[in-house]
Amino acid sequence: MTIIDAGKMHFRQLNDKIRGMNEDVTICGCMGQRYLGCGLKGKVLTIHGTPGNAMGAYLDGGSIIVHGNAQDAVGDTMNDGAIIIHGNVGDAPGYGMRGGKIYVRGNSGYRTGIHMKQHKDKKPVIIVGGSAGSFLGEYLAGGILIVLGIGVDRDSVGNFCGTGMHGGKILIRNHLELPNLPEQVVKTVATDEEKGEIADYLREYCSIFSQDFESLIKDQYLLLRPDSQNPYKKLYTYY
C-alpha cells in the first residue's frame, strides 16, 4: 500500500500519482482535490479528509473509502465497485449510476440517484443512513435507493421525491407521508418479501457502519415505484 500526503497538491498531480500505482493507495490530508479515483478499477483508494467534486466518477470495479465528508457528484456514471463514505455527501451522488454501490453513513444533498439506471445483471444501489434532500430519485430508471433516517428528528427526505421516475425502487424507513409526492409515483408499505430484496445490501451496510441490522430490517419501509411506463405524459402535458 502506498500512502500519499495530499496537502495542497494540485488535483491533477494527485490523480496522476493514484493512477500510477499498481497497489492500494491511502491519501492523507485531502483538501478538496477533484476527480479522485475516476475510472478506478482493481484497487482500493482510502481517503482521509474531504475529497472534491466528482470523486469516483466512472468507477469501474475499484473501491473508495472516505473517512470524512464528500462533495458533489460522487460516483457520477459509475459502472461498478463501491464507494463508502463515513460522513455526509453533497448533491447528486450516483448521477447516471449504472452499477455498483454507494453507502453513506450520514446525509446526502439534493438529487441523490438522479438518472440512475440498470441493465441486465447491473443493479446500482445507494443507501443513505441519515436524510436525503429534495428530488431524491429524480428520473430514476433502475436500481434501488434506500433512506434509513437514522438519528433524524425531522422528515428524512425532502420535496418532490421520485419526480419523473420510470423504473427502479425507492425505500424510505419509518415514513407514511411524503411532501409533494408526484402523481406518477405509487406509494405502498413494503412487504416482508420486498424488504427481503434489500436485506443483503442492508446487512453489508450495517456491518460497515456498525449498525443494528435486525432492528433496521424489521422496521416499516415506504416503497415508491412508478405507476406508468410513460410518466412524462402525466408530468408535463395531456393530449
Task: Answer yes or no: is pLDDT of 177 > 80.
Answer: no
Q: Which CATH number fits domain 88-236: 3.10.640.10, 2.60.40.1120, 2.160.20.60, 1.10.3720.10?
A: 2.160.20.60
| Amino acid at site 33 | Q
Q: Is the pLDDT of residue 158 over 80?
A: yes
Per-residue pLDDT band for 234 (boundaries 50, 70, 90) equals low
CA angle 115, 116, 118 (to 5 degrees): 130
Residues for the chain: how many in total? 239
Pairing status of strand 80-85 against strand 60-67:
parallel
Percent of the chain whose predicted confidence (pLDDT) is above 90: 78
Q: Residue 51 pLDDT > 90, yes or no?
A: yes
Q: Is the pLDDT of residue 232 over 60?
A: no
Mean pLDDT for 180-194 is: 89
pLDDT for the residue numbered 237 = 43
* CB-based contact 45:21 (threshold 8 Å): no
Q: How far apart are CA 164 and CA 190, in angstroms?
A: 21
For residues 128 and 149, what is the distance between their CA atoms, to the nearest angstrom? 8
Paired strand residues for 80: 60
Report whether pLDDT(219) > 90.
yes
Q: Which residue has the higher pLDDT, 218 or 119?
A: 218
Q: What is the mean pLDDT of residues 174-187?
A: 79
Residue with cell string 415514513? 175
Q: Which of 84-98, 169-183, 215-229 has the lowest mean pLDDT?
A: 169-183
Residue ranges of domains in the chain: 88-236
Cα separation, 175 vs 55, whole angstroms: 31
Identify the band that residue 227 occupies on the pLDDT scale cut at 50, 70 and 90.
Answer: confident
* pLDDT, mean over the chain: 92
- pLDDT band of residue 238 (cuts 50, 70, 90) is very low
3-state secondary structure the chain: CEEEECCCCCHHHHHHHHHHCCCCEEEEEEECCCCCCCCCCCCEEEEEEECCCCCCCCCEEEEEEEECCECCCCCCCCCEEEEEECCCECCCCCCCCCCCEEEECCCECCCCCCCCCCECCECCEEEECCCECCCCCCCCEEEEEEECCCCCCCCCECCCCCCCCCEEEEEEECCCCCCCCCCCEEEEECCHHHHHCCHHHHHHHHHHHCCCHHHHHHCCEEEEEECCCCHHHHHHCCC
Interval 93-110: pLDDT, tens: 999 999 999 999 999 999
Cβ neighbours of residue 125 under 8 Å, at least 6 residues apart?
100, 101, 102, 143, 144, 145, 146, 201
The mean per-residue pLDDT over the stretch 35-48 comes to: 95
Residues 31, 135: Cα–Cα separation, whole Å: 28
Give tens-digit pLDDT for 145-154. Answer: 999 999 998 7
pLDDT number for residue 230: 59
Mean pLDDT of 183-202: 93
What mean pLDDT comes out for the span 233-239?
48
pLDDT band at 239 (very low <50, low <70, confident <90, very high): very low
pLDDT on residue 194: 96
pLDDT exceeding 70 applies to what percent of the chain? 94
Cell of 198: 434489500
